[in-house]
Structure formats: C-alpha cells, structure tokens
Amino acid sequence: MAKKTNYSYIGIAFIILVFGIIFIPKIVDRLSNKDVTREDNRSKDITTQDFNNNQQAKSDLVYIPTADGGKRKVPAFSFTNQNGETITNEDYLGKVYLVEFFFTTCPTICPRMSANLVQIQNEFKDYNDEFGVASFTIMPEVDTPKVLKAYAQKYGVSNPNWHLMTGDEDEIYKLANEGFYLYTSKGEDAAGFEHSGNFALIDKEGYIRSRLTSKDNPLIYYNGIVSEEEGVDDEGIPQEITILKEDIAKLLNE
C-alpha cells in the first residue's frame, strides 16, 4: 500500500514538472507582453470607447441638406421688431439663435412655446452677445411693435437679441413655409390660425443645424411645445428642450 502511495506522489510531481516546463514560460512571456487579463480588459475598454465615440458621432450637429445637395441656410429677411427697429438676417450673423413662428393671441401652443423659450433664454443668460431668438408673428395686422413689446414684457424677454418681428404678411408666410418649411396657415380668427410648434436651430453662419436621430436621419427641428418639467405630453411625445439646450451649447463652442 505504501509503494502505491509513493508512486502516486511521484506521478503527481512528474505532471507538475511537465506543466512547469511547458506552460510557465508561456505565461511569463504573455505577462511580459501584457497579453493576459490586463490586455483583455483593455480590449473591453476599447470596445466601450468605440461605442461612446459612435454615440458621440450620432449626436454631432449636421447641416440640413437642400434639394440640390447644398446646406440649407436662413433666407434673407427684413422685418420690424418690438422696439420699432428694422431687423434682418444679417443682424444674427455670429450668433446662435432659435427661430419660431407664433402670434400673441394664440390660445393654445404659443404660451407654452414662449415659456420654453424664456427658460432657454435664462439658461444662456451669460451668452447674450452670442445667443438670440427670432420670433415671427403670423398675425402681423394685430401684432404691431407695441403689441409685441407688451407680449415680450409679459413673458420676461430680456435677451437683447430676442427680436419679436412683424411686417408684410406674405413675406412672413413665405419665410415660414418656403424658407424654413415650418407650416403656417391663415384662418378667419385666432382659433383658425395654424403654425408649427417646432423651433429651428441656427448656427453662427446662418445655417440650420440639427442632431441625428437613432436612424441617422437629421431631427431637423425641435419640439418647442413640451417642457422639460412635463417630460412627455398627453400623446406620449417626449420633450426636446433638454437636447436643444445641449445643441445650443455645442454651437456656441464652435
């Protein structure tokens, strides 16, 4: 019985010796070349980094293409603001700004849009020289400079580059429907007027910019109706004010 036990010990020792001769040099070599656990973890880190880079690429702001393959730019315009001053598209060059179409007696979405714009304005109050808003009334026969100024005061418009503008009705509708493709329609009274509830984001050179969606298509415009506080509306449409503020910050840093 003792001999068998000794033979067993000898056999185990022989196996350990063979393992050491064959495998230990390989392990040492892999360690010296950083090719074990540390390298595997590094590979995982690279994968995570690549994923984050891809996500970042998807959130980079793109230009909105035109039919001929160019970049969609804000058309030339000239209107009168709430202070009776003539404002053109050139007054916004060098600034990041938002564009909306509204009217002061709008009973539905305009108050919500205006509140969201004021919240954004206050978020970027330290960038008054670089950030602005262009609000175009679609009811110019009612929204005179005096009326627009009262509306601005009511909602707390303080940014000097937030111009609420009025002017020729045909030019305003052409700017909305053909210049920005933001739907507007004239009705018989305030309840009959219709317009988009979206905001357009414009860069310092006057180009319309947007982030990409998950399907790699440009978002183009940002929902201006649903607030951050609401989160989603009654139809389940999520707020886009948060991502809009993120994208404004990106353009300010360009």
Per-chain mean pLDDT for the chain: 81
CA–CA separation, 141 vs 236, rounded Å?
A: 36
Q: Is the CB of residue 141 less than 8 Å from the CB of residue 103?
A: no
Which residues have a Cβ under 8 Å from the Cβ of 201 and sit 6 or more positions away?
Answer: 61, 96, 98, 208, 209, 210, 221, 222, 244, 247, 248, 251
Provide mean pLDDT across the span 160-187: 93
Residue type, 17: L
CA 150 distance to own-chain centroid: 30
- Residue 78 pairs with which residues in a beta bridge? 88
List pLDDT tens digits, range 84-117: 999 999 999 999 999 999 999 998 999 999 999 9
For residue range 40-71, list pLDDT tens digits in order: 232 223 232 332 344 344 448 999 999 899 99
Q: What is the mean pLDDT of residues 151-178?
A: 97
Give SS3 for 101: strand
For residue 185, is pLDDT > 90? no
Helix, strand or coil, per DSSP, at residue 99: strand
pLDDT in the model for residue 29: 41
Any bridge partners for residue 202, and if so which? 97, 208
| Amino acid at the residue 212 | L
Give the C-alpha distances (Å, rounded to integers) separating 211 from 92, 177, 200, 220.
21, 22, 12, 7
Could you report the per-residue pLDDT of 208-235, keeping only the tens digit for each? Answer: 999 998 778 899 999 999 999 999 988 8
**What's the predicted TM-score (pTM) here?**
0.75
